[in-house]
Amino acid sequence: MTFTGMSLLGVGLGIAALAGALFLLQRLRVRHQPLTVETTLFWNDAIEEAKARVLVKRFRHPWAYILVLAITSLLWIAFARPELSAGAGMRHLFLLDGSSAMAGRFDEAVEMLEGELRVLPSSSRTVILCGDVPRTLLLPGENLLLFEARCEDYVPGPGRVDFEALVESYRDEDPDSRLVVTIVGDASLDAAFVKTLPDTVTVRRLTPPGALDGMRVLAFGQGPAESGRMDRVDVLATVRVAGGEAPALRATLNGQSVEAVAGWRAADGVWEFRWKDLPAEGGRFRVALSPSGEVFVGLVLADLRPLPVAVEPGLPDVLLRALDADPEVAMADPSSAVLVVRWQGSGFGGELPAFELGSAAGTEDAFYFEYIGSELETGRLRDLVEDLGLDTVDGPGLAERLERTVTIGASPGPRRGARIWRELLDEKAGFTGSAAFPVFIARSLRWLAARREEPRRVAVGEPLLKTSGPVTVPSGEERDPVGDLFTPRRPGRHADATGRPFEASVLEPIRGGGAADLVTSTKNRGWSWDAVSVVLLTALGLLATEWIFLRRGSMP
């Protein structure tokens, strides 16, 4: 049972009870300590000023009574937290944006909303959390404490809630009553929809500090260069802004300023930007969304530079031809190479990741791989097989031609490594003649060099298509999706199991149509101070006043 959120009637009854109790207490005789003195001669005048309170006699100290009643009433009000009459008959619908756009600011939004709820009648407010599905956080009449508990542990994710439908359904519950809809967060409402709302419905926005100054990033990613150059990529950003002017975006590549080649208006308030022919060398690309640069979107550009590979002399020609045909492979000395191709057991290339040829007599698996630590979990070997193109290899045919079982094996090791039978490269095996052979060689080399295909778009709340092993999140902690795809929960720099970085950005789900221009507030309305604190401070002040009067002898 709790008395918080008590109705005004309840508070009034409580004050009346206090007034009665205090009235009786004022009239009760004070218990005096007996003391024998030589004379009471001089006390007679003094005693006339300090008559003891007696139940049946005249009420002597009305001001003292009023003061103590005021103090106790304030304390009672602070405890009871009455519902204010302001806004009676008005319904409040709070739509708390739980989408990934709120990542990093969700807690502030909850705090703001809590302050707002505290001053509203509990019977008239409803709070719905809008993440991937709508979730009711607080029904009319429910205690505010429940709100806090229900918000705990929620992590913003992809937001797919239809805000307009929620507003419509809530309005239809009681079309005649006044309804105030408050969007808490960055989510937008369709402008056309807002125009259709009747006058009884007011829509406003409450957004925590640090918002993107009205700018929302709808899309942000990289792709092949429009110019056709293989060693270049283009970056595309789609942003929505309030107002008609194009936003001035400030982009940097590895800290160096990069100018947008083009920016054009795609729809009302939606602008597209493209940064063309950026060097595909794994650089860090960022677009600042706030003047200070604290709010940004970013990505790691693809690394399309040729792989420096050291090749041991005397390897089969068919393998050398496959390497030579790969445009992303460049022959290099072992000292400058990132990986090596060699015979099994030779010391060529030292500790570099190696693609080795071994004898079928000495090893069981035709295709054998070593991976780092926990990057390849149980059950993910299939993914590796697909990644390396082995799923297109005619396994049964190979086995028949080699007259032995062809298997794929993997085990953890200090570094990545790949080893195949030398016999697989013989002409009679038929492997080198298949389309799978150059694909396997090319992908194996890229896997050994830990060169991956950079995702086009890494958005908070959206699972990455290809990840394996634990990921280091921006806070520095390690998160292991345990077999599932990793989903970034916060924007910023991440690192995969091999230590390679990638950036996650806050992107708003794309909606059709223009966004309504809502009245936005970044502060709680009304009592920004906690009302209870104000009441308690007032009571404290009155208490101090009483003490002063008491010390001066103006009060019994």
Partner 1 sequence: MSSNRLTLRDLADPDFLAAVSRLQLFVRRVARGGMPAEQRSLHLGGGMEFRDFRPYTPGDDFRAIDWNIYRRLGRVVLKLFEELEDLPFYLAVDISKSMFQGENPRGHAALKAAFALASVALQQHDKVAVFPFSDDLEIAMRPSSGHGKQMRVAQVLADLRPKGRTDFERSMRRLNGLGLRRGLLVLISDFFDAAGLEAIERALKGVRHRLLFIQLVRADDARPGLEGDLRLLDCETGQARDVSLTPSVRAAYEASYRRFQEGLLKLAQSRRAGLLRLDVDEPVVDQIASLLADGVHAL
Give DSSP secondary structure letters for 381-418: HHHHHHHTTGGGS-HHHHHHHHTS---EEEEEESS-EE
Nearest approach, Cβ of residue 544 and partner 1 (Å)? 17
Tell me if 33 contacts partner 1 by CB under 8 A.
yes
Residues 280, 290 contacting (CB under 8 angstroms): no
* 62/255 with CB nearer partner 1: 62
Stretch that binds partner 1, among 40-48, 146-154, 195-203, 497-505 (CB under 8 A): 40-48
Query: Does 267 participate in binding partner 1 (rule CB under 8 A)?
Result: no
Cα angle: 201, vertex 171, 165; to 5 degrees:
105
551 is a site residue for partner 1 (CB under 8 A)? yes
Please name the residue that has the structure tokens 């295909």.
Answer: 453
Binding flag, residue 39, partner 1 (CB under 8 A): yes
Nearest distance, CB of residue 541 and partner 1, angstroms: 21
Does 554 participate in binding partner 1 (rule CB under 8 A)?
yes
Distances, alpha carbon 391 to alpha carbons 151, 276, 364, 436, in Å: 46, 36, 19, 9
Residue 377 has a CB neighbour count (10 Å cut-off) of 17
Instruction: Give the number of other CB atoms < 10 A from CB of residue 515.
Output: 21
Least Å distance, CB 548 to partner 1, is 11
CB atoms inside a 10 Å sphere around CB 21: 12
Of 2, 31, 153, 294, the residue at the interface with partner 1 (CB under 8 A) is: 31
Q: How far apart are CA 314 and CA 45, in angstroms?
A: 124
Site string for partner 1, 343-382 (x = CB under 8 A): ----------------------------------------
Residues contacting partner 1: total by CB under 8 A: 30
List the beta bridge partners of residue 253.
Answer: 256, 285
How many Å is the Cα radius of gyration of the chain? 37
Q: How far is the CB of 50 from partner 1 (least distance, A)?
A: 5
- 25 near partner 1, judged by CB under 8 A: no
- Judged by CB under 8 A, the residue of 52, 66, 133, 267 near partner 1 is 52
Closest approach of Cβ 42 to partner 1, in Å? 4
Of the listed pieces 44-52, 147-155, 296-304, 406-414, which binds partner 1 according to CB under 8 A? Answer: 44-52
For partner 1, the binding residue among 40, 85, 257, 378 (CB under 8 A) is 40
Instruction: Please identify which residue in 9, 30, 133, 267 interacts with partner 1, judged by CB under 8 A.
Output: 30
What angle do helix axes 531-552 and 62-80 make, rounded to 10 degrees?
160
Per-residue binding string, partner 1, 510-549, x by CB under 8 A, is: ----------------------------------------
* 58 lies in the binding site for partner 1 (CB under 8 A): no
Could you tell me the smallest distance in angstroms from the CB atom of residue 60 to partner 1?
A: 12
Q: Give the CA count within 13 Å in the CB-facing half-sphere of 267.
A: 12
Separation of alpha carbons 289 and 217, rounded Å: 9
Nearest-CA neighbor of 527 among 91, 92, 112? Answer: 112
Shortest reach from residue 141's CB to partner 1, in Å: 48
Place of tokens 């308690």: 536
Indicate the residue among 335 and 554 with the shorter CB distance to partner 1: 554
CA angle centred on 297, ends 272 and 518, rounded to 5°: 65
Q: Which of 413, 433, 412, 415 is closest to 424 using CA atoms?
A: 433
Q: Which of 2, 44, 227, 256 binds partner 1 (CB under 8 A)?
A: 44
Identify which of residues 41 and 482 has a Cβ nearer to partner 1 in the complex.
Answer: 41
Residue 540 CB, shortest distance to partner 1, in Å, is 22
Least Å distance, CB 61 to partner 1, is 11
Among 1, 2, 35, 313, which residue sits at the site for partner 1 (rule: CB under 8 A)?
A: 35
Contact (Cβ atoms closer than 8 angstroms) between residue 369 and residue 410: yes
CB 232 within 8 A of CB 279: yes
Query: Interface with partner 1 by CB under 8 A: which residues?
Result: 30-52, 550-556
